[in-house]
Amino acid sequence: MSIAVCLLRSLLLLSLILPIVVYAVEPLLPKQQSLLLGVKINGRLQEGVEEFIEQDAVLFVTPEQLVDMGLIVPDVAVLPSSGLIDLTRINGWTYQLDSATQIVSFLIPNSSLVSQQLNAGRTEVFEPITQRDFGAIFNYDSQFTDYNGQVSSSNVGNFRAFGPFGVIESSVVQTHSQSFSRTVRLGSTYSTSDPASLRTYNAGDFINGGLSWTRPIRMIGVQMATNFGLRPDLVTYPRPGMTGEVAVPSSVDIFVNGLRQLSEKVEPGPFELSQLPVSSGGGNISGVVRDVSGRETTRTLPFYTSTALLNEGLDSLSMELGSVRRRYATESNDYAQSAASLSYRQGLTQRLSLETHVESTRGLVMGGVGADILIGTLGILSASVATSTFADEQGLQYGLGFSRTTPYLSFGFNVLKANARFYDIAAVNDDAMPRTTIRANLGIPLSGVGSFSMVYAKKLVNLYTPEDYTKTQYVQISERISSSSLSANLSVSLPKNAYAFITSFHDFGANAGSGMFVGMSIPFGHNATFSASSSNAGGNADHTVEARQSVVQTGDIGWRLARQTGNQTRNDLGLSYKSPWGLVGAEAERGSLGNSYRATAQGSLSMLDGHFFASNTVYDSFAVVDTDGLPDITVLQENRRVGKTNADGLMFVENLRAYESNRLSIAPDDVPMNV
């Protein structure tokens, strides 16, 4: 038989057998279909629908879908071929599919539910800065005085130019009198910031980074430092929270030290409240859960937090390299030998923050470590130790402190001690090193009355006499100066928002003495106060009576009337006016030692987008509102009227908050109907 005939017969036989095999195997292959279903979890219908895969009456879902449904992904095997989870394999989970309503109902233990996050307050959404315009600001503060015919003046100027390149800033102070005239440059710095990395870079004059147990110095050079101010929405220290669980729809009220901070509805299941907006200190958090039947359950937890701690995983770094600056505000360019420093802090846990500092200059190396520890809910324990090498001698410094702040009692102490061989950069550059520093404080709120506080401070300093003021060589003999004092203050609240106070002190030093200061203040009118005070120290007594009205916003007129008797006799009269273009004032004084007259002016000159503006001093940020040429349009800041646009349709708004959302708007009623 030929090969062709055999091949033909084989194909014919295969065509007869193949349909039979396919028919027999087909029922064994699983059938899959996609279902769009509503989801009900523990009786609560979720928003929207989810896509499920059904195979042999079993539902499958992806891990990502479980997360979207507010469920914790269980520790079960995911099918490798499809990446799906078999819902029948999850222990403790049951479900039922209602084909008529196309809803799948789950019964799931609360331990598998993601906790509902309750919002403890308004959270600012950080938006990166995408536009950086060119502009400039010049702040000035001028004062002219005539005292018994002798005229003197003092002027402080600060100039800032900014744009996509960063910020260039320079400050200068000028003083003039009949005896001398001097102009001193305070500082010149170029800086740029990156909010994404929380880094600020400086070149020029700056103050180096430091810790509570180090002494920062002024330098010229380059600096890189962490700047948390670039992210005002960032919580830098641990804050307390609370967790709970409800079986039925309920409401939750959260109280911090008796003040309501939150009230929200919660669905059945666990809930979590984190990062409560509390300030540094301790107290109690109370959670009141009220269900649909009106039954209440209260839970109270103590807490303690402090800005001395860093949030877990958060760190702060400051590095500097340059030269030490001396005689600030006296000389413009007095720079000593080169120096370098590094400071670093890290939040290791919610209860422990570690820190280190290293600095060096010619002939000196100093370094140390420190820690801030939260002890239960009692307070913050701080400790540090540092060592130095200078002139072939090893020095040691150590510190220990504890602080506790609560609404009912606050106290703390801090001891920092260095031996005679310990030096830092400041000590090498003619700034005497404190050998012992002690501070202790006590504060007791008097419920419904006021508060009482006490502070004890002691400082021991070795003053070295330089052989040559142009060098950093010291003689072996030094003069030890010790000072210590104890002060106490009692403040009492009076009706009509008035208050009174008594402050007393005693100096335990060589010039031992005691003193007392007594006073009271009574508000009246819109923004005015009347005050009276009396002081007695070292046998000298002074008594002062004063009435004052302060300027707060544009258009305010301020005034001051005062009379002082006792050791000196003086009568003062002052007026001030806060205009849209600056704050001006005048003051006259007649006293037993002579008469004086003073004129002051403070303000700012700014340029943005080719326009120039005169305004009050710009301390932070500013903006220009442009209504496309429409004059007399009311401008609102946070729904508060701040002024109207000028004849060119422009208005300058000062004192905005840098790196935050500032809400500016206009009054729509001022806009013509055809615009």
Read off the pLDDT band of 219 (50, 70, 90): very high
Positive or negative torsion for Cα 583, 133, 225, 159: negative
- The pair of structure tokens assigned to 564 is 């002082």
Hey, what amino acid is at 123?
T
Please check whether residue 209 is in contact with residue 345, taking contact to mean a CB–CB distance below 8 angstroms.
no
CA 524 from centroid of its chain's CA atoms: 34
pLDDT of amino acid 23? 40
Please check whether residue 434 is in contact with residue 461, taking contact to mean a CB–CB distance below 8 angstroms.
yes
- Measured from the Cβ of residue 192, the count of other Cβ atoms closer than 10 Å reads 15
pLDDT of amino acid 277? 75
Read off the pLDDT band of 273 (50, 70, 90): confident
> Strand (E) positions, 550-593?
557-566, 570-579, 582-591
| Residues 5-33: tens digit of each pLDDT | 555 565 555 554 545 444 444 443 456 78
d(CA 142, CA 582): 12
- Per-residue pLDDT, averaged over 189-212, amounts to 95
Residue 517 has pLDDT above 50, yes or no: yes
- Per-residue pLDDT, averaged over 88-113, amounts to 86
Of residues 518 and 107, the one with the higher pLDDT is 518
Positive or negative torsion for Cα 623, 628, 629, 632: negative
Of residues 629 and 129, the one with the higher pLDDT is 629
- Per-residue pLDDT, averaged over 312-321, amounts to 96
HSE, CB side, 13 Å, CA atoms: give it for residue 575. 3
- Per-residue pLDDT, averaged over 194-199, amounts to 91
Read off the pLDDT band of 479 (50, 70, 90): low
- Per-residue pLDDT, averaged over 628-653, amounts to 92
Q: According to the per-residue pLDDT averaged within each range, which of 40-44, 153-157, 568-572 is highest?
A: 153-157
pLDDT of amino acid 470? 44
d(CA 328, CA 207): 11
Of residues 179 and 596, the one with the higher pLDDT is 596
Read off the pLDDT band of 480 (50, 70, 90): low
Residue 478 has pLDDT above 80, yes or no: no
Read off the pLDDT band of 83 (50, 70, 90): confident
* Lowest mean pLDDT, pick from 47-56, 69-78, 554-563: 69-78
Please check whether residue 135 is in contact with residue 291, taking contact to mean a CB–CB distance below 8 angstroms.
no
Q: Please state, in angstroms and as integers, the Cα–Cα distance from residue 143 to each residue in 427, 589, 615, following that order.
A: 35, 15, 18
* Lowest mean pLDDT, pick from 245-254, 280-289, 348-357, 563-572: 245-254
Residue 100, sorted as left (phi over 0), alpha (psi -120 to 50) or beta, turns out to be alpha
* Lowest mean pLDDT, pick from 49-63, 323-337, 342-356, 583-597: 49-63
| Residues 417-465: tens digit of each pLDDT | 999 999 999 999 988 889 999 999 999 999 888 999 999 999 887 665 5
The mean of the pLDDT values for the chain is 87
| Residues 227-259: tens digit of each pLDDT | 999 988 888 999 888 888 887 888 888 888 888
Please check whether residue 159 is in contact with residue 626, taking contact to mean a CB–CB distance below 8 angstroms.
no
DSSP string of 355-417, one letter each residue: EEEEEEETTEEEEEEEEEEEETTTEEEEEEEEEEEETTEEEEEEEEEEEEE-SS-EEEEEEEE
pTM of the model: 0.81
Please check whether residue 103 is in contact with residue 39, taking contact to mean a CB–CB distance below 8 angstroms.
yes
| Residues 31-61: tens digit of each pLDDT | 678 888 889 888 788 888 888 888 888 888 8
d(CA 394, CA 382): 24
Positive or negative torsion for Cα 47, 53, 55, 58: negative
